[in-house]
A and B are shown apart, each in its own frame.
Chain A
Amino acid sequence: MRRFACSVLAIAAAVLPRLAEAQACCAGAAAGELGRLTLHEEALLGVDLRAVRTLGAFGDDASFRAARVEALQFEQSFVGTLRLGEAVQVGAVLPLVGSFARTPRESGFGGGLGDVRLSARCDFTFAGASRTVPGIALLGGVAAPSGRPVEATDHPLGVEATGMGRWRSWLGAAVEQSHGWAFAQIAGAVIHDAPRDVGDRRADARWGATGSVVLGASLPSEWTLAASALYEVEPRSPRRNVRFGLGVGHPLRDWRLQGGVFTDAPFGGLGRNQTVQAGFHFALMRIWT
């Protein structure tokens, strides 16, 4: 049961959005947990391929406007996770970001190393272990500004940007429970972006938060299905967004296949000052037990 619950979470986490991932320049740390280990797994190494298309953007008045530019973003992330005892697992994500954009007048492609992320998870109790006590976990991590911020690029469409140009850290908690073939999780995290200097200007530190709900089901033939919804907000900006995801997973001996689709809600009022995107991902992980 706990193995099933972990599988659902591993799948769902991969389709959860990242705060402020509007463009590569805003991309940063994941509040989610790409590469989560199930209870019987000791380590994993994998690659996650992700493609995202920009549908439009929310303005400051929360109105949605469809995109007038064709903007695609591709990301190949190398993922590694190691278990340190039953309760603790640590992970790293090394993203390679590529962006393509085309307008009636200009087009371009660029990319490079994105912001490297380190994360940790500590499970105090496990989902499915008790009917009355849910699984409770503490989540945390940090993202280094190893990517290229947009101000350091030359192309007018900013396609060479691969990172935020600032440190990001996050701390959160997850409560999860499984019953029979069903699984549910509620999670939240607080995100802090460190200040950064842009030329002779200083962008102040900022705080954000995410809250997510995941519902999962165990299907025949070891397939796992997970649906997720995530709300992200950054009060000072102010920015907010809602993203929905649907993912599937399947174990293959020492490997795990994961895939999924996700989309932000392109409806006026549901977002503010945020780019609206949709995309899919596919991940292949080598598992050591």
Chain B
Amino acid sequence: MRARYVTALGLLLAAFLWGACGEDEADGPFPMELVGENRLFHATLSPVSEPLVVGSNDFDLTVVRAEDQAPAEGLAIEVVPWMPHHDHGAPTAPSVEEVGGGRYRIRGVAFNMEGEWELRISVSQGEIEDRFVAAFRV
């Protein structure tokens, strides 16, 4: 009888540990193609290194004009990391540096926890404004 209890307990523990191992990571969504909400710009977003990690991450953003696919240079870009299901942002504000040819390096995107995140990206040039939302799991 005691052996049965030990076996049952062992199976229960094994099941618990099996479940706790979790799922393997699926292929990431990057590079991610983005279309501006105002359809003025298209963009491609890629992390500098994968997989994304809790803590600091850098991204590359390539922006082109929707009408002629020409590189969009000289944009003012603001990036806000946001955790939509938890309604909070990130510890630090990312910085954006223009590399050239419509490419921008986003530095210091800090994900403080694992889960579903968004990068809310606002781009503007003079009177022209557009906005991208990239959703992914960290």
* A residues at B contact (CB < 8 Å): 20, 22-23, 25-26, 54-60, 63-69, 71, 101, 103-106, 149-151, 153-158, 160-161, 164-165, 193, 196, 198-199, 201, 203-204, 206, 237-239, 265-268, 273-275
Contact = CB atoms under 8 A, between A and B. Distances in A.
B115 A25 contact: no
B126 interface: no
A22 B115 CA distance: 10
Given A60-B137, A155-B91, A156-B92, A266 B19 contact: yes
Given A65-B23, A156-B55, A266-B19, A273 B116 contact: yes
A106 B56 contact: yes
Interface centre among B19, B53, B55, B56 (most CB of A within 10 A): B55
Contacts of A267: 19-20
Interface centre among B16, B80, B91, B92 (most CB of A within 10 A): B91
B2 interface: no
B4 interface: no
B90 A150 contact: yes
Contacts of A23: 112-113
A106 B89 CA distance: 19
Given A105-B53, A156-B108, A157-B55, A275 B115 contact: yes
Nearest to A104: B53
B115 A57 contact: yes
A214 B116 CA distance: 32
B56 A156 contact: yes
A267 B53 CA distance: 22
A227 to B, nearest CB: 15
A68 B52 CA distance: 10
Given A69-B54, A158-B110, A201-B80, A150 B88 contact: yes
B91 A158 contact: yes
Given A103-B53, A238-B85, 17 more contacts: A25-B86, A25-B112, A57-B115, A64-B19, A65-B23, A65-B114, A68-B53, A105-B56, A156-B56, A156-B91, A157-B110, A158-B113, A160-B91, A165-B88, A199-B89, A204-B87, A268-B23
Interface centre among A101, A158, A206 (most CB of B within 10 A): A158
30 contacts: A25-B112, A56-B22, A57-B115, A59-B116, A59-B137, A63-B22, A66-B22, A69-B53, A69-B114, A71-B113, A101-B54, A103-B55, A104-B53, A105-B53, A150-B89, A153-B112, A156-B92, A156-B112, A157-B55, A158-B91, A158-B110, A158-B113, A199-B80, A206-B87, A266-B22, A268-B19, A268-B22, A273-B115, A275-B113, A275-B115
Contacts of B114: 54, 56-57, 65, 67-69, 275
Interface string B87-109: 11111100000000000000010
Given A57-B115, A66-B20, A151 B91 contact: yes
Contacts of B85: 60, 237-239, 273
Nearest to B56: A156
Contacts of A101: 54
B20 A56 contact: yes
B21 interface: yes
A164 B91 CA distance: 13
Contacts of B23: 63-65, 268
A67 B84 CA distance: 20
A27 to B, nearest CB: 11
Interface in B17-34: 19-23, 25
B61 to A, nearest CB: 20
B92 A57 contact: no
